[in-house]
Amino acid sequence: MTTIEISCVEVWREISEYVDADVSAELRVRMEAHFKVCAHCSAVLDGMRNVVGLVADGRLFQTPEGFNKRLYSKVNPSE
């Protein structure tokens, strides 16, 4: 089967959805073929995966100490 080539610009347009595994099987195959031969797009993909992985980590934004207790202070003003 012949894989239809895809340009860098087309790859960038779809790369976020590719990271989310939200592209069609056909498009995924075309993008993966492109990543194999394009160092720039591979670098963009690796960088985006890094960013998405780090941002999703719970350690990035931590609640202040005592936040959980104070959160209900207006619901239960007497406590």
Partner 1 sequence: MVRLSHFMNNPLKQLDSNEADLISRVCKGEHKAFEELVRPYERLVYVTAISVLRNPADAEEVAQEAVLKAFSKLSSFRAECKFSTWLVQITYNEARMKLRKDRRHLYESVDDPRQDKEGDYWPKDFADWRPIPSELLENEQVREALQNAINSLNDMYREVVNLRDIQNLSIKDTATVLGIPETSVKTRLRRARLLLRDALAPGIDGLWHTGHPYQKVRPW
Quick one: which of 38, 24, 41, 29 has its CA closest to 4? Answer: 29
Per-residue contact flags (x/-) with partner 1 for residues 12 to 51, judged by CB under 8 A: xx-xxx-xx-x----------------xx--xx-xxxxxx
3 vs 16, beta carbon nearer partner 1: 16
What is the Cα–Cα distance from 56 to 51, expressed in whole angstroms?
Answer: 8
What is the Cα–Cα distance from 47 to 78, expressed in whole angstroms?
Answer: 50
Residues that bind partner 1 in the complex, under the rule CB under 8 A: 9, 12-13, 15-17, 19-20, 22, 39-40, 43-44, 46-61, 63-64, 67-68, 70-76
